[in-house]
Amino acid sequence: MNDTQHSLHLIGDVARRTGLSVSAIRYYSDEGLVEPTDETDGGHRLYDLDAIARFEFIRTLRDLGTGLEQIRRVLTGVVSLRDLLAEHLDVVEGRAKELQAKRAVLRALVREDSTAERAKLLQRLVAMSDTERQRLVDDFLESVSSDLPDAAIEKIRDAHPRLADDPTAEQLDAWISLSELLRDEKFREETRAYLRETYATEVGRRMSAPAVQEFISSAGGDLMPKLGAAHGAGLASDDPRVVLLADQLVEQSAAAGGVASDDDLRKRLANVYSRVDEITSEALQHEGYRATEGRYLELVAIINDQPAPDAELARAAGSADADQQPELRRFGRWLSEAILATIA
């Protein structure tokens, strides 16, 4: 008899070979997962090498956390091993993400010196799981961005919070604050209303149109840097090179808006740029913006460890030294004069 193919083994020997306990082997046999190959005259179970291999396979799956019914589906051919492992991989990866988030929370709490603050954070954490927070953010974005122009939706979805593996106490607190805020139906309704008013009205839809957005992107990536460089170099607003750039800006604005680049448009653009710092400040200080989209963007910036939203604009539009004009005001008035200089 070939010992490697035909020998039978008692349950104790099977336990030693597989690392399973004798009771586990009996259990799997009683469950019908691995039938005994034979029995001794005294009624003791005997298993061949194929049965031992099945026990080893079961142990591997159990070590991976696979449930008994899942194992049964594989052994009976209801599902392939590949499909089962793919299912299990999804579960394991989901657990890994949860554990990673919990580790981040614990690290942040351990770093917090104040016992009172640590207790406060912990109390807020236990009210909602990390998975629930992520789902809440997704639901919020879906809720407030429905029926908006595509460009507006893309802008909103780009600002998505992603908590670091090892967040600071400030980032963690911002994440919790955002989660609590998004649960507030009043905040959702106000944000939805503000975004509709800003982007879904006729003016908002025109500003969100692909042609306009393409112009804004083009101007921001081409003309505005050139104009900014010219201003920084001290060129006068009526310098021919500056006037040429200003004329190109007007032409692009007209093409994006589908209007004529006539004197009326040039005067209106000049008026807008002459008040650009005022307009920017008003937009950033708008009560509706600060209470809704602005607050969301502010918390997301903290969570993602990014500069505060519109911080550079706010700095440029804000007051400088007492004897100096704010940066945007100087540039805006200079550009306004350059646009007026394009009028024949």
For residue 293, what are its two tokens? 């989209």
Domain with CATH 1.10.1660.10 in the chain: 3-79
Q: What's 113's DSSP letter?
A: -
> Could you say which architecture CATH assigns to the domain 3-79?
Orthogonal Bundle (1.10)
Alpha carbons 196 and 147: distance in angstroms, whole number: 8
Choose among 224, 227, 243, 265: nearest CA to 337: 243
> Rounded to whole angstroms, how far apart are CA atoms 226 and 248?
11
pLDDT, tens digit only, all 344 positions of the chain: 344 445 899 999 999 999 999 999 999 999 988 999 999 989 999 999 888 988 988 888 888 778 888 888 888 888 777 877 787 787 777 777 777 767 766 776 676 666 677 667 666 766 667 777 788 888 988 888 877 777 667 777 778 888 777 778 788 888 888 888 888 899 999 888 888 877 765 444 444 444 444 444 444 447 778 888 888 889 999 999 999 998 988 888 888 777 888 989 899 888 877 876 565 555 555 566 777 888 888 899 898 888 876 654 445 445 444 344 456 678 888 888 998 999 97
Alpha carbon distance 136, 198 (integer Å): 23
Q: Radius of gyration over alpha carbons of the chain, in Å?
A: 34
What residue ranges in 20-164 does DSSP mark as E strands? Answer: 38-39, 45-47
**Cα dihedral 269→270→274→279 (10° resolution):** -10
pTM > 0.75: yes or no: no
Look at the block and give the residue holding tokens 């030294």.
321
Q: How many CB atoms lie within 10 A of CB 56?
A: 15
Beta sheet of 45-47, edge-to-edge order? 9-10, 45-47, 38-39
User: Under DSSP, is residue 46 helix (H, G, I), strand (E, B) or coil?
Assistant: strand
CA gap 38, 65 in Å, rounded: 30
Question: Which residues, 6 or more positions from 253, have their beta carbon under 8 angstroms from its beta carbon?
Answer: 215, 261, 265, 269
* Separation of alpha carbons 122 and 116, rounded Å: 10
Instruction: Quote the crossing angle between the two packed helices 185-195 and 293-303, to the nearest 10°.
Output: 110
| DSSP 8-state assignment for residue 78 | S
Q: Which amino acid is at 106?
A: L
* The token pair that represents 139 in the structure block: 């639901």
